Amino acid sequence: MPWSCNPNDVRILIVDDDPMLRKLLRSTLQSLDHTNILESGLGQEAVDLCQQNPLDLVFLDIEMPGEMNGIDVLNELRKDKRPVSIIMLTAHSTIANVRQAAASKVNGFLVKPLNPERIEKVLEHYHQSRCA
């Protein structure tokens, strides 16, 4: 499924156990004309949403509590072979986590606390790479 170059058509999933961070990220994305946004606070729920919905971009917290952390979710999504871009969100990840994410072909990293300008730059980069 091809990536859309229209921000309204880009299908985004935000995965983070912190509801305030999800709200902030959603608000920032909406201010940049991205309106097709799903959210999840749980790893398995995120995997299920990805399997049930065609997605273009996932913002995924690397460290989440519960049965599946961000690395587990990333590995499950990559098994699915869908062409989704994944940006890992991290506040204080270990080098081992970053290496695992890189080995699983993550598309980028954003460091918390999230900065709206940095989010916009990440989106510009992915739009340019997909729509050039």
> In this predicted structure, what is the pLDDT of residue 93?
66
Residue 50 lies in a domain: yes
Q: Write out the residue range of the structural domain in which residue 19 sits.
A: 8-131
pLDDT tens by residue, the chain, 132 residues:
344 567 778 899 999 999 999 999 999 999 998 889 999 999 999 999 999 999 999 999 998 888 899 999 999 999 987 788 999 998 876 677 777 777 778 888 888 899 899 999 988 887 787 776
- Give the pLDDT score at 72: 94
- Cβ-proximal residues to 52 (8 Å cutoff; 6+ apart), any chain: none
Q: What is the pLDDT of residue 24?
A: 95
Q: What is the CATH number of the domain that holds 22?
A: 3.40.50.2300
pTM, whole model, 2 decimals?
0.89
In the chain, how many domains are there? 1
- Helical pair 43-52 and 70-79, crossing angle rounded to 10 deg: 20
The answer to whether residue 3 is domain-embedded is no
Residue 115 lies in a domain: yes
